[in-house]
Amino acid sequence: MSRRDEPVTITPYRDGPLLVRGPFTMLDQDGAEIEVDRTTVALCRCGHSRQRPFCDGSHRLTRFSAPGAAEQRASR
């Protein structure tokens, strides 16, 4: 199995970033590639990182709160 055949996983960490593992391509909103030199990156969810879209740990200082699992949707 080549690196490109490996699955990409995205894991939300409770009160923290999204961890992306595996071979992936990241694009900005205009479709330009964002250079990523690792196969595992942490993406900001709190909006306070100075390295967006990457996490710099700012969520700890801002007391960001988010579940680590999928949120349950209310039944209608």
- Which domains, ranges and CATH numbers included, belong to the chain? 3-62 (3.40.5)
Output b/e per residue, 15-42; b: 16+ Cβ within 10 A.
ebbbebeeeeeeeeeeeeeeeeeeeebb
Give the model's pLDDT for residue 1. Answer: 54
Q: Extract the residue ranges of the chain whose pLDDT is less than 70.
A: 1-4, 72-76
Give the model's pLDDT for residue 65. Answer: 93
Give the model's pLDDT for residue 72. Answer: 67
Give the model's pLDDT for residue 32. Answer: 97
The per-residue pLDDT for range 41-60, each reduced to its tens digit, is: 999 999 999 999 999 999 99
Give the model's pLDDT for residue 6. Answer: 82
